[in-house]
Structure 1
């Protein structure tokens, strides 16, 4: 049974966005469909946007089908126990040619009550950032619903929000309720709970090709916002050939692994592992078989694979569910 499973690569699901561009192609080698491609959903079980395996024995099979057939083998014993046959995380690359809308995501409790969904805790890893690019995250000073609404009405919301310069390699951890926006000129890898619930509160009065503004969710956001300041930027070490911890929360744990040569890995079968290759090339050797991946690839390693080797020169994000 064990030898049937291998590192899984999926067909990207591209999303056209008003703020999107062409850097998913120029930076990450993605075969994007148009010049306003904002997102590449790399690994998704969101209904209507379920990832399909692109290579190997499972080619053409949807992630949902695989989880139905092999839930424990792919998800892991503990993940299956906790989530059933649901895949609990969503992995994306984003290209912000323009500023994204200012937005936030509800916590598990609100999302369950309002949308029958998970909340959306997420993190960003910056793959490329133009000079002077920045992200918006949280308030400069503790705020209140009254202050927030007044600035929203006056179109001065940005003046009370915290703007942080962004550089390649920066990591930002965004807990639910945190107001945030990716600024223009940034390409990121995003790791998040499986949820597509976003409350958009300000969109710079932009209009789409048909002259329409996008929907805002001001009332829904009011109860969901964290009005305190946050420390979203994460510092981390980059020891070669080691899994360097960056983010650890109940929903996922992310390490940065700078690879040069060969690293042998041994893990439990409690959780799957995902590798996002943010630079270089990596081979994953499993049961004397070698599988090759490049910058821009997102690889799901089924939980049943407990011993493997990483070979090459690459920068990797290593993500799993902590137990």
Structure 2
């Protein structure tokens, strides 16, 4: 019989980004630089699998723990569906500047092209300093119209910008063009995937 589970804490996986800022350190108390863009709180993404940092299980990876505790850790139905692959990636994001305008594939396309899950996301706005985000387009478009704007350098004219406030919640399904804007600190819950198609990066 395995020892009883207890509330687990995992070591954050910090990632500096060109658009990152100091809020992961200053607002959330992370041991992060002033260009830290992401803190992955729990991850089963290959190459970035979380490691427990408290109690007698400290030092064990999330995958190791799933192999040992199976449904007791993940829930029986989740274990039956995903096995030891933890299905969620939970992170904090500090955007001192706009992230790239991007889109993620759904499960079917991601499986076909990348042998991966798709990437549907949910955002909770922790702090907003006159922050914005982009969610889809501001008008109906067909493929030809979209490509004309993309090639012609006028993509910003058709993007849907929204002001955000602390406490706002956004659902970003796979396939929706989006970007997090400057001045936003948010928590993100997403599928276990790191597949991103970048459309526009503000001429950086």
TM-score, scaled relative to structure 1: 0.62
* Higher-helix-fraction structure: 2
SS at match of 2:145: helix
Alignment of 1:49-88 (within 5 A): 49-88=48-87
- Provide the C-alpha distance between the structure 1 equivalents of 2:2 and 2:157, rounded to a whole number of angstroms: 56
Q: What's 2:27 paired with? A: 27
Q: What's 1:136 paired with? A: 134
Q: What's 1:96 paired with? A: 95
- Provide the C-alpha distance between the structure 1 equivalents of 2:45 and 2:3, rounded to a whole number of angstroms: 28
TM-score, scaled relative to structure 2: 0.97
Q: What's 2:196 paired with? A: 198
CA drift at 1:181: 0.3
- Provide the C-alpha distance between the structure 1 equivalents of 2:120 and 2:100, rounded to a whole number of angstroms: 17
Pick one of 144, 147, 150 that aligns with 1:146.
144
SS at match of 2:84: coil
Pair 1:68–1:2, CA change in 2 (3 A): closer
Q: What's 1:13 paired with? A: 13
User: 8 Å contact 2:125–2:168 — kept in the other structure?
Assistant: yes
- Tell me which stretches of 4 or more aligned residues in structure 1 moved more than 4 Å: none
Indicate yes or no: 2:91 matched with 1:126.
no
Aligned length: 204
CA drift at 1:68: 1.3
Q: Structure 1, residues 61-98: CA drift from partner, whole Å, max 9, x if none? A: 11011111111111111001111111000000000000
List runs of 5+ in structure 1 lacking aligned partners.
207-323
Bigger CA radius of gyration:
1
Q: Structure 1, residues 244-286: CA drift from partner, whole Å, max 9, x if none? A: xxxxxxxxxxxxxxxxxxxxxxxxxxxxxxxxxxxxxxxxxxx
Please provide the CA RMSD for this pair: 1.1
